[in-house]
Structure 1
Amino acid sequence: MNQFINFFWTILGFAAVLFYWVANGLSVWFYLFIGLSIIPAFLSQRFFYRIQLSHNTKIYERLGVRVIRKFVQHGDFANRIGRKNNPAYRGMLKSVDPQRYLGTIIMYERFHFICFIFFLLTSGIAIVQGHYLLALLIVISNVVYNVFPILLQQFNRIRVLRCSNQKSV
């Protein structure tokens, strides 16, 4: 179930971006944007701790993170199905030690940050070229596919750190 959810959101998230680049060709801009987008892959874990929106879970809850969590990989919906099919099933947070899970959170956050930059740059060039509707679709995709998951990972990091009584790096 988790892989199906991941596949669904990835196809939906990348559809407008993919359409733009297929329709307009892989120009020098594409390669420049890929190069700029992968910079977060080389940033330290501390960077991601520093860009944390808040250390208060209430802020994230007000932004709708609990709603988002229902529909993502290892989210409420997937965990409910997992428990229905296997009563011994435990969610991601319960099945992994906190330090390892913090590494997973950073990996997910880093991936979505890379995609966020690429989507942002792509929407910018779409606007410059007058593809306003497509740019709007890319921006919406960016929020749904990247901004919400980044917020979710930050929320999860707060919860894991609280549960394990650790301090952020």
Structure 2
Amino acid sequence: MNQAINFFWTILCFIPVIGFWMAANSTQLLYVLILLSFLSLLIPAKVLQLSHSPKFYEALGVKFIRKLVQNGEYATRFIRKNNPQYKLIKDKANAAAYMRTIVMYERYHLLCFTFFLLSAIYAIITMHYAFFVIIMLANIIYNISPILLQQYNRARVLKLNK
């Protein structure tokens, strides 16, 4: 179930980016922007964390986002139909492993956010305004929302471990 959710959002949000780059027909620039996007991984996670308060993220609507993603409310509900004891975080060791997963997800979406943003900027430069709008919407859905969600999850797990 969780992988199906990932696949759905990835395909949906990458379609406009792939479509733009196919229309742009600029393979060399594509590779340059991908390489530049990897530089975003050098930014320390501490710098990116907007708040350590779960309430901050809840005010941004993260609870709604959490319903629609892997390990979210709907996916967990579906899994618990077959496995009523299912819990994502069972103990402190499991919480530590989950924190590493949070970092991995956040870094992946930061990389994609940067690439989508650079692609959108190039779309504006080349006067592909519709692609700009669609790529930015995809960036909000596919990257900004998950980054906020991972920061929320980190804040919640850290609060549990106090």
TMscore range, shorter length? over 0.9
* Structure 1 unmatched runs, 5+: none
| Displacement over 6 Å in runs of 4+ | none
> What is the letter of the counterpart of residue 22 of structure 2?
V
| 2:90 is equivalent to residue 94 of structure 1 | yes
Q: What is the correspondence of 1:1-150 to structure 2 with a 5 Å cutoff? A: 1-41=1-41, 43=42, 47-90=44-87, 92-94=88-90, 97-150=94-147
> What is the letter of the counterpart of residue 121 of structure 2?
G
> What is the letter of the counterpart of residue 85 of structure 1?
N
Q: Does the 8 Å contact 2:113/2:139 carry over to 1?
A: yes
- What's the RMSD between the two structures over aligned residues? 1.4
Per-residue deviation, 1:88 = 2.4
TM-score by length of 1: 0.90
SS in 1 for 2:40: helix
Q: Distance in 2 between matches of 1:86 and 1:27?
A: 47
Specify the alignment match of 1:157 in structure 2: 154
Aligned residues: 161
Per-residue deviation, 1:93 = 3.0
SS in 2 for 1:93: coil
Per-residue deviation, 1:74 = 0.7
Q: Distance in 2 between matches of 1:93 and 1:68?
A: 19
Cα-to-partner distance string for 1:87-109 (whole Å, 9 max, x where unaligned): 2222x233762221111100000
SS in 1 for 2:86: coil
Per-residue deviation, 1:132 = 0.3
> What is the letter of the counterpart of residue 142 of structure 1?
N
> What is the letter of the counterpart of residue 25 of structure 1?
N
SS in 1 for 2:89: helix
Larger mean CA deviation between 95-104 and 55-64 belongs to 95-104
* Structure 2 unmatched runs, 5+: none
